[in-house]
Amino acid sequence: MRFTTEQHLDDGVVERAFTLGEIPGILWTPASASAPVPLILLGHPPLGLRTMYPRLVARARQCAAEGIAAATIELPGSGGRPRWAGAEQAGADLRRTLEAGEQVSDEIIDALVLPLVDRAVPEWRTALDALLSLPDIGGPVGYSGGVISVGIRLALVEPRVVAAGLFAGSFVPRRMVEEARQVTVPLHVLLQWDDEGNDRQAALDLFDAFGSPDKTLYASMGGHAGVPQHAGEDAARFFARHLRQ
């Protein structure tokens, strides 16, 4: 892990860009931490870190206000990172299906999501190794956001992730629903009730599937990008409850 830039944001949060091999990432740490702090991994849709930056830094500031560090990495195939054979094809198949107004098949969803999960989750774990070796990051660790299938797999295989705040999305492979049944960490799931890109019933079924005894569904009005401020605040409190001990 190599830090490339460091800047102090106006509220004292320290933002450090890094690279982890070929993977770019960003780490935000709270202003005045006297002891090692907990960490939240900020998940995001595969739109590239540059596009996602304004929303990511806003979420990182919310974490910092709770005394929690936040970090994110570029997803494989996003930003400037190389795509793999099949990714372009799956994306093209999805667009064609949506434009034709047809039902998106399980095959397309699997081809779109499963290789991304298989590639991204080991990278998040490698990032976690590096981040937890820093003197100012102590854990415990939470995962927050999308891609929900990445969050499911990470919550399942990575014992250092002790709480997950997930953003309900469609296009969840059946296999990931099965993996969700085995997830047991405390869970806070945000659902936008009128999400134009989201099948509400599929999201409710996925929430039902999670094996976690402590899980909350927080559904708000509005479309995909319309998460109200109080939903973000309540998610922040979920993490504060589980990470600040």
* Contacts with its own copies, residue ranges (CB under 8 A): 193, 204, 207-208, 212-221, 228, 230-231, 233-234, 237-238, 241
Report the alpha-carbon angle 93-95-96, nearest 5.
65
**Residue 213 amino acid letter:** P
Report the alpha-carbon angle 173-176-181, nearest 5.
140
Angle of helix 148-157 relative to helix 106-132, nearest 10 degrees, comes to 50
**Shortest Å, Cβ 232 to its own copies:** 12
Contact 84, 119 (CB under 8 A): yes
Bond from prior residue into 140 cis (ω within 30 degrees of 0): yes
**Shortest Å, Cβ 143 to its own copies:** 19
**Shortest Å, Cβ 14 to its own copies:** 29
User: β-strand 187-192 against 215-220: which pairing, if any?
Assistant: parallel
CB closer to its own copies out of 34 and 229 = 229
**Shortest Å, Cβ 44 to its own copies:** 23
CB closer to its own copies out of 82 and 213 = 213
What is the Cα–Cα distance from 105 to 107, expressed in whole angstroms?
A: 5
Burial status of residue 177 (CB atoms within 10 A of its CB: 0-12, 13-18, 19 or more): middle
**Shortest Å, Cβ 233 to its own copies:** 8
CB closer to its own copies out of 113 and 190 = 190
Alpha-carbon Rg for the chain, nearest whole angstrom, is: 17
Return the exposure string of 95-117: e unless at least 16 CB atoms fall within 10 Å of the residue's CB, then b.
Answer: eeeeeeeeeeeeebbbbbbbbbb
Contact 40, 70 (CB under 8 A): yes
**Shortest Å, Cβ 3 to its own copies:** 36
- Joined together, the tokens standing for residue 75 give 């997803």
CB closer to its own copies out of 26 and 191 = 191
CB closer to its own copies out of 107 and 233 = 233
**Shortest Å, Cβ 54 to its own copies:** 24
